[in-house]
């Protein structure tokens, strides 16, 4: 099959069924794969000449776990798509539902997200919005309560992401390498989130020492103020 595809791409001709005459074609080929083709070429499982023929322009798509900001939008899109296909009513997703989606590692990427949304919708107990109880059991332990203050969709998403990052930093005493590994994201993406949410020293030993000192003196500063650094103290 690889040899036939290579010949089509090189000669830009095909032979129709039942014919021996070549037929010219003018097509643009877009290939997508989850496999490491460079490694497959080295292992002899993929033709090198075909690899260089199709890899003219390569677009590296990061895994879904590194694009947490895309999850709510994609989830809402899939919800409306499947609601129409199954003729079911669905007005949206609860904060708890979105929280679980944000915390999941998504080894199956977008296809797994699509499956979770469809399954949750089909098995929903009739609520207008999909909530925690509609999630697969393996995701229910990753969520927070549905009983959260109302707010804009964007504010809810940003709040979830901020709390995920802060929780991972606290868990690993401010170690950014371990925090990124815990979240299943790259260090580069973690630093982008830290800058976006202006999170600096939270989780570090100095952070906790400041917190204990303030507690003992009866001072009352929120976590956001502590995260601004020693100058605030």
Residue where a domain terminates, one of 32, 54, 76: 54
Do 70 and 38 lie in one domain? The reply is no
Longest dimension (CA), the chain: 91
Question: Is the residue at 180 inside a domain?
Answer: yes
Question: Is the residue at 153 inside a domain?
Answer: no
62 pLDDT more than 70: yes
144 pLDDT more than 80: no
Do 78 and 135 lie in one domain? The reply is yes
The mean pLDDT of 38-60, rounded to a whole number, is 92
Annotate the chain with DSSP letters as a single string: -HHHHHHHHHH-EEE-TT--SEEE---------SS-HHHHHHHTSS-HHHHHHH-SS---PPPGGG-GGGHHHHHHHHHHHHHHHHT----EE-HHHHHHHHH---TTHHHHHHHHHHHHHHT--S-SEE-GGGS-HHHHTT---S------HHHHHHHHHHHHHHHHHHHTTT-HHHHHHHHT--HHHHHHHHHHHT--STTSHHHHHHHHHHHHHT----HHHHTT-TTT-
Do 71 and 135 lie in one domain? The reply is yes
Question: Is the residue at 232 inside a domain?
Answer: no
149 pLDDT more than 60: no
Do 43 and 70 lie in one domain? The reply is no
Residue where a domain terminates, one of 54, 82, 97: 54
Question: Is the residue at 151 inside a domain?
Answer: no
12 pLDDT more than 80: yes
Do 84 and 113 lie in one domain? The reply is yes
Question: Is the residue at 110 inside a domain?
Answer: yes
Structural domain including 38 reads 2-54
Do 180 and 219 lie in one domain? The reply is yes
C-alpha span between 225 and 146 (Å, rounded): 27
Do 135 and 71 lie in one domain? The reply is yes
Q: With the C-alpha atoms ordered 208, 171, 95, 64, is the resulting torsion angle positive or negative?
A: positive
The mean pLDDT of 189-206, rounded to a whole number, is 74
Question: Is the residue at 154 inside a domain?
Answer: no
Higher pLDDT, 94 or 115: 115
CATH number at residue 89: 1.10.8.60
pTM of model > 0.75:
no
| pLDDT single digits (tens) 76-98 | 999 999 999 998 887 788 878 88
208 pLDDT more than 80: no
Question: Is the residue at 157 inside a domain?
Answer: no
Q: How confident is the model at residue 65 (pLDDT cuts 50, 70, 90)?
A: confident
Count of structural domains within the chain:
3
């Amino acid at each position: 099959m690889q040899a036939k595809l290579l010949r089509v791409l090189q000669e830009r001709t095909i032979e129709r069924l039942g014919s021996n005459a070549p037929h010219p074609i003018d097509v643009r080929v877009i290939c997508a794969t989850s496999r490491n083709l460079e490694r497959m070429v080295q292992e002899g499982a993929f033709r090198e000449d075909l690899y260089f023929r199709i890899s003219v322009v390569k677009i590296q798509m990061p895994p879904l776990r590194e694009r947490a900001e895309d999850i709510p939008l994609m989830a809402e899109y899939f919800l409306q798509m499947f609601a129409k296909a199954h003729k079911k009513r669905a007005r949206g997703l609860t904060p708890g539902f979105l929280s679980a989606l944000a915390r999941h590692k998504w080894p199956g990427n977008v296809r797994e997200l699509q499956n979770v949304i469809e399954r949750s919708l089909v098995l929903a107990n009739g609520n207008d919005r999909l909530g925690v109880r509609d999630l697969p059991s393996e995701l229910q332990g990753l969520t927070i309560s549905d009983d959260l203050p109302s707010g804009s969709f964007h504010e809810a998403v940003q709040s979830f992401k901020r709390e995920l990052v802060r929780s991972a930093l606290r868990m690993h005493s401010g170690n950014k390498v371990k925090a990124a590994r815990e979240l299943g994201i790259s260090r580069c993406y973690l630093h982008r989130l830290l800058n976006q949410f202006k999170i600096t020293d939270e989780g570090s030993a100095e952070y906790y020492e400041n917190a204990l000192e303030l507690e003992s003196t009866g001072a009352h500063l929120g976590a956001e103020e502590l995260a601004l650094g020693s100058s605030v103290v």
